[in-house]
Structure 1
Amino acid sequence: MLEIERKFSVKSTNFLANAKESYKITQGYLNTDKNRTVRVRIKGNKGFITVKGISSANGLSRFEWEKEILVDDANALLMLCEDFVIDKTRYLIPFGSVVFEVDVFEGANEGLVIAEVELETTDQQFDKPEWLGEELTGDERFYNAYLSNVPFTSWSR
């Protein structure tokens, strides 16, 4: 139940050529307290509820518990979520020994593209594709819970 992941910006759409799968995700947050978040998600045709704990100091790991729920229940819970719901398309891109999950955000977070890779250990080494940009691990602005309250399109850049 410990999630270990690293996040990166994406500097080009070259990843699309190697995508093995993609699906739509709609998600919202019932609670965005920094010590714990409660997320409701519809991924493809499945519903999920997820509880995440506070991140480690380096942002690499945190407690995560997830349970599949009925899509109808997920839709009902999305109506109770804070602020606004996040919509994105996720692409799965195998690269070397890992699979990158690249999220292309829509709506109020349009223009944001983030790659995540889940790891077995915090010091696991992996190859990085040329389309991967700077590391964002630990930068709370790129957590989906933050983006649901302060959308990317509202940032002054």
Structure 2
Amino acid sequence: MFLHIFVLLSILLTTSFEYKTDCEDDLSQPCTVYLTPWEDAFTKLLGSIDPTTKMLYNIENLANSVEPDSIQELNDKIKKHVGQTEIKTFAQKLPVLYRFGMNITIVEDLSKVTVPSDLTTTTETTKSYRIRTTTLKPTFKKKVVNIAKKKYNKLANFIQFDLYPKK
């Protein structure tokens, strides 16, 4: 039973970290959305890119690789050949407000990306002023996600879920 709960929690935690963004409230500043190649958010990105562009620049084949060189080549092709219209379509599929100049960056591991929301917290006072304090968020959740990603495939081979056992 405990193992079932652990695996379920691991799955929920891994699906909650599909992407990171440094998009703040200031719409005049460009921002970046960071993705990994194996998450649902990346699939949404591929669905937002014009099929001709994907085929012409071999974007879909590069997307199947997790090698650092392939990821860098994929980032270069996204920057050169994916337009703001396609990025806007992608942003609408995520809960991210589009702004002109938004960038997409593919990374190997999201836990290695630090965005401002990881470092700061915003609190409201009674006078409705925003106060920003620098505090590191707990890394426990990130550690669990990393462990779950590494161990999920091994566990999936050995665990059989029987959600509705026969009586």
Tell me if TM exceeds 0.5.
no
TM-score after normalising by structure 2: 0.23
Q: Which has the larger radius of gyration?
A: 2
Higher helix share: 2
What TM-score, normalized to structure 1?
0.24
Greater relative contact order (CA < 8 Å, ≥ 6 in sequence)? 1
